[in-house]
Amino acid sequence: MKYTEIEIKTILNKERLDPNQYTLSLLKEGRRAGLIDRRTVDNIQSQIMSLLASLIIRHTKGESTSIKVETAQSIFMSMLYSIDAWISKFNDPEAALACLRTHDIEDTHKKGLALVAACLAETKALYREIKDKKLNVSVKAYHSTIDEALPEFLISYDEVFKAHDTMASVDYPLLLDDMRVKGIFYIKQYLEKLKIENQFCSLFADKDVGKLLVNYGKVYRIDYREALINVFEILITNSIFSVLSESEAKKLSISKYQYALLLDQFKGLDRSQCSSLIKKAFEVLIGELHIEQPQLKDYIRNAASVLMPRYLSALDHDCLDNVVILDDEENRWFDIIFDEGKSMDDHSFRMVVEQIIECVDSAEKTAIITSSIHSLGDFIDVLEANCLFEDEFSALFNALGDMELSILARIVFIEEIRNEPTGFSVRNAAEKPMERQWQTEYARFLLSLSADRIRSIEQYINSSLQETGSPRFLQH
């Protein structure tokens, strides 16, 4: 049946609905489409403000109705988060709008709050399962996320007054993360995907995984233990190309001979044929690894669509060896000695951070860091500890040598170095938007350097690294 012109005008435009402000955007779009009148909207908004007032009284335990603006805004967003949770359960926006028109807001909030609380309980159970089945990998972000960030979030999460909050230092990246989701619903979907990735990674022998990660670090000239890498992506990539090199999906090691066979597979093929060949390899992988779980199968197939452009681009530019990690350790030479350093215990680290925060002079802050911090991991943690501001970052970076700056570059620009290993440009990479404040300040600092210093840093980036047993990162 075709919609008439009048019917089309009454249908809500889903593209105008904001998932993170679903109720408010639904009311606005419903009003625009003529599905709800002004009086009803005003009544709903009045109920929302009345509910906010009662929650503020509850927050202050009845002692006051006056709180900081920031606190009131947080409570307001938390309240809407729970309302959104219930409203979002409806199959279509029209049904959700009908619920808002006909149901009391306080009752809707209670139902949504129950959903949030239930999600929190499910997330805690899921976390315990993941904690018990951690991968045996030496990736710091992976362990700190599971051992520190997630339990801290789950303990401090407040479903009534901060339900929308996702203030967790979840550093370990997923291949298919969805950061548009907020609050406990984000953490739950993060853990669900992490569980699936862990299931796949656990299909391989620990020693094979460890060897591949070491080779990965050498290829990209990074300390893989400190880098924000996704283990699932690295394993599934080598597993796929192992299949294509006439080996087995379970064998992660790919020799130069296998790589030559691999290239032969793609000779004379256009992009469509290459894509078809790789897609078939994903299905072979699923079969050879005896993967039966529907969720893991779906995740692998979705991963194929995300990874395919990278694979095809590498083939187009004749640099597939930047994607496939070859087992050719005997031919690698090292020309830079890099001391990763010994990390502090948590108590000592917190004391240093407190000392930095108490300082008001950027030179003094730099002196504290360079005299106290001797580990790359601790140095990154300081940068992310909210104890440095604006010019203080520049003062600290200015105290580093070119080699130390190049090591930071390997962390900040890991994707750019991977995609352009021979033509990497500090200036081009530094002009791109960054995810974290310290990375933005680092990029700004690099752009302020002379051409000679940038060339020096690039030379270090293009050199290989070898670790030593020396316990110092900053040699001052």
> Looking at the predicted structure, is the pLDDT value of residue 202 above 60?
yes
Same domain, 324 and 410: no
Q: How confident is the model at residue 208 (pLDDT cuts 50, 70, 90)?
A: very high
Same domain, 444 and 340: yes
Tokens representing 277? 């060949």
Tokens representing 353? 């951070």
474 falls within a domain: no
Per-residue CA distances from 206 to 119, 127, 335 (Å): 33, 22, 29
Out of 156, 179, 199, a domain closes at 199
Domain count, the chain: 4
Same domain, 340 and 413: yes
Same domain, 410 and 382: yes
**How much is the pTM?**
0.70
Same domain, 346 and 317: no
Q: How confident is the model at residue 424 (pLDDT cuts 50, 70, 90)?
A: confident
Same domain, 174 and 211: no
Same domain, 45 and 104: yes
472 falls within a domain: no
277 falls within a domain: yes
> Looking at the predicted structure, is the pLDDT value of residue 153 above 90?
yes
Amino acid at 226: E
Percent of the chain with pLDDT over 90: 41
456 falls within a domain: yes
Collapsed DSSP state (helix, strand, coil) of residue 139: coil
276 falls within a domain: yes
> Looking at the predicted structure, is the pLDDT value of residue 415 above 80?
no
Question: How much is the average pLDDT of 162-175?
Answer: 86
Q: Which of 167, 189, 168, 184 is nearest to 117 (CA)?
A: 184
Out of 199, 221, 253, a domain closes at 199
Averaged pLDDT score across all residues of the chain: 86
Same domain, 237 and 273: yes
pLDDT digits (tens, 9 = 90+) for 116-149: 999 999 999 999 999 999 999 999 999 999 999 9
Same domain, 254 and 321: yes
CB neighbours of 357 closer than 8 A, spacing ≥ 6? 387
Side-chain-side CA neighbours of residue 269 (13 Å): 17
473 falls within a domain: no
Buried b (16+ CB within 10 A) or exposed e, 151-184: eebbeebebebbbbbbebebbbebbbbeeebbbb
Question: How much is the average pLDDT of 140-161?
Answer: 93
Q: Which of 295, 275, 297 is nearest to 286 (CA)?
A: 297
| 195: containing domain | 117-199
476 falls within a domain: no
> Looking at the predicted structure, is the pLDDT value of residue 263 above 70?
yes
Q: How confident is the model at residue 476 (pLDDT cuts 50, 70, 90)?
A: very low
> Looking at the predicted structure, is the pLDDT value of residue 50 above 80?
yes
In contact, 340 and 467? CB cutoff 8 Å: yes
Same domain, 123 and 107: no
82 falls within a domain: yes
> Looking at the predicted structure, is the pLDDT value of residue 409 above 70?
yes
Out of 331, 350, 385, a domain closes at 331
